[in-house]
Amino acid sequence: MEISELKAELEKLHPASFGWALSCCRRNHADAEEVLQTVYLKILQGKAIYRGESKLQTWLFAVIRKTAMSERRKLWLRTLIPIPGTTSVVHNELESESERSQMQQRFQQALAQLPARQRETLHLVFYQDLSLSEAAEVMNISVGSARRHYERGKKRLRTELDREGVEYGIGWNRKENSSAVL
């Protein structure tokens, strides 16, 4: 794929990529932007090459996830050796938190309580509209594992939301038909 063509595709996927980067960076906007920049740099420099073996979106999301993980590792190292000028991010986060609706805040708090794998699976399925097999590809795990994370994540999110008292339209306790997602 040509660079210009790839750039156009990246532009199309940019909002979704940012949403995924946000999820990978625990809703930290500055970190998500940084990760996205690094990913684009990797792609334009040819360090990350798309070989057409999967959908561009799943490949891109996998690259974002890996980059976010490595950035998180670097950040962890930076916390061991404190560097001045890293507190401004927290301030920005607090500002954006105040803008959110109360229900969304609770939902995000409940989402933050979930283990990373469960949170990621739910995000890829519900937010990005990917199938479980695509989500598994992004997370580099088997479809069975992805399904397990999805089911457990759903169950746990529901209990967390019940605890938080979040209601959206119909009550949570109604019986439901748990159909296959694949």
Question: Residue numbers of the site for another protein (CB under 8 A)?
Answer: 7, 10-11, 14-15, 18-19, 22, 29, 33, 36-37, 40-41, 44-45, 96, 100, 103-104, 107-108, 122-123, 126-127, 131, 154, 157-158, 166, 168-170, 172, 174-179, 181
Q: How far is the CB of 131 from another protein (least distance, A)?
A: 7
Q: Which is nearer to another protein, 82 or 170 (CB)?
A: 170
Q: How far is the CB of 104 from another protein (least distance, A)?
A: 6
Phi-psi region of 46 (alpha: psi -120 to 50; beta: other; left: phi over 0): left
Q: How far is the CB of 136 from another protein (least distance, A)?
A: 15
Q: Which is nearer to another protein, 124 or 139 (CB)?
A: 124
Q: Which is nearer to another protein, 130 or 139 (CB)?
A: 130
Q: Which is nearer to another protein, 53 or 177 (CB)?
A: 177
Report the C-alpha gap between 145 and 7 in whole angstroms.
Answer: 33
Q: How far is the CB of 10 from another protein (least distance, A)?
A: 7
**Which residue's entry shows tokens 């519900």?**
126
Q: How far is the CB of 60 from another protein (least distance, A)?
A: 13
DSSP states of 90-132: HHHHHHHHHHS-HHHHHHHHHHHHS-HHHHHHHIIIIIS---H
**Is residue 150 helix, strand or coil?**
helix
Q: Which residues contact 19 (CB under 8 A, 6 or more apart)?
A: 123, 127, 128
Report the C-alpha gap between 99 and 135 in whole angstroms.
Answer: 30
Q: Which is nearer to another protein, 86 or 108 (CB)?
A: 108
Report the C-alpha gap between 123 and 17 in whole angstroms.
Answer: 12
Q: How far is the CB of 150 from another protein (least distance, A)?
A: 10
Report the C-alpha gap between 141 and 143 in whole angstroms.
Answer: 7
Q: Which is nearer to another protein, 18 or 50 (CB)?
A: 18
